Amino acid sequence: MSYEELSWKSRDGVSIYGCRWMPEGEPVAAVGIVHGLGEHCGAYAHVASFFTERGFAVIAFDQRGHGRTEGRRGDCPGYDALLEPVERIVEDMQRRWPGLPRFLFCHSMGGNVALNFMLRRRPPLAGAVVAGPWLKLAPAPPPAKLLWGRLRERMQPGYRLVGANRRGTSDPDMQRRYDEDPLRHGRITLRTFAAVSQAGRWALSHAPELSVPLLLMHGGSDRITSPRASRRFAQRAGERCSYREWPGFRHELHAEAGRQEVLACAADWMLGRCGNS
């Protein structure tokens, strides 16, 4: 596996950090990774290694307000700015590997962004794997906390709500990695929280319009995002969407103790779609 760092400027001039992992030999397909809240693309190196061993070329980026991408942590000026880098990596996959099937692999807030991207832009993808998407939270933040957040943001622009972190996985080694990772954070500004929450509700209401084949997965013991909302999305999306729930698994399926089985399920589903693209 080879590794390459990338960077580009967003439409409003912010420097976006990204990277590529390439398999040995010619790739059989390409997959773009869209990470969740508080993460960064480097935290998916083990996912990229798994996929490249199976012949995938992998591209990823740090979302606005995350990792090595510029900007205040957990903040984004608007929802369209979250969609823009996804559009960029899809275009990059199409340009670099024009004859290969192209996929997305997305988690949590990244799943929210990817579902909205697919519903709003209808990109030329062979499929997408979305795990634990932020359609609704489980449980929703207390109204008093949101009210206090609104008041604080008026008095102190940029005030950030503190989010979840180590609860996402039961794997002690992954919890240790989280604690030692200086690029991880658990913060989100109120305006970004509101935009992503609204986009989750929008995706649920527009699920029947899904045009890209989707494997939607959720941990049965997820206490961060709602498995019920994912089940509802799958039901509304119909035959375009395959749904799998993992009993006993927490929020971060790609980081749980049984992640090898999860990643194998994702890789097999994508490889199975390569002949249909």
Average pLDDT over residues 146-164: 49
Across the beta sheet with 214-219, the strand order is 2-9, 15-22, 56-61, 29-34, 102-107, 127-131, 214-219, 241-246
User: Contact, 135 vs 230, CB < 8 A?
Assistant: yes
User: Contact, 101 vs 190, CB < 8 A?
Assistant: no
Distance of CA 140 to the CA centre of its chain: 20
Other CB atoms within a 10 A radius of the CB of residue 54 amount to 16
pLDDT higher than threshold 80 for residue 169: yes
Distance of CA 156 to the CA centre of its chain: 29
Global pTM value: 0.92
Where is 149: in which H helix or E strand? helix 143-155
Average pLDDT over residues 130-154: 69
pLDDT, tens only, 33-86: 999 999 999 999 999 999 999 999 999 999 999 999 999 999 999 999 999 999
Amino acid at 58: V
Q: Is 218 exposed, middle or buried, given 0-12, 13-18 or 19+ CB atoms closer than 10 A?
A: buried
Higher-scoring residue by pLDDT: 3, 138: 3
Query: CATH number of 2-276: 3.40.50.300, 3.40.50.1820, 3.40.50.150, 3.40.50.720?
Result: 3.40.50.1820
How far apart are the C-alpha atoms of 199 and 122, rounded to whole Å? 16
Q: Which residue carries 């990792």 as its tokens?
A: 67
pLDDT higher than threshold 90 for residue 155: no
Average pLDDT over residues 236-254: 97
Amino acid at 54: R
pLDDT, tens only, 221-243: 999 999 999 999 999 999 999 99
pLDDT higher than threshold 90 for residue 277: no
Where is 47: in which H helix or E strand? helix 45-52
Q: With bands split at pLDDT 50, 70 and 90, how would you rate the model's confidence at 275?
A: confident
Q: What is the DSSP letter of 136?
A: S
pLDDT at 164: 47
Question: How large is the angle between the packed helices 190-205 and 143-155, nearest 10 degrees?
Answer: 130
User: Contact, 224 vs 164, CB < 8 A?
Assistant: yes
For 120, the 3-state DSSP assignment is helix
How far apart are the C-alpha atoms of 79 and 196, rounded to whole Å? 7
pLDDT higher than threshold 90 for residue 19: yes
How far apart are the C-alpha atoms of 193 and 128, rounded to whole Å? 24
How far apart are the C-alpha atoms of 196 and 241, rounded to whole Å? 22
Buried b (16+ CB within 10 A) or exposed e, 118-139: bbbeebebbbbbbbbbbbbbee
Q: With bands split at pLDDT 50, 70 and 90, how would you rate the model's confidence at 159?
A: very low
Bond into 123 cis (ω within 30): no
How far apart are the C-alpha atoms of 111 and 105, rounded to whole Å? 8
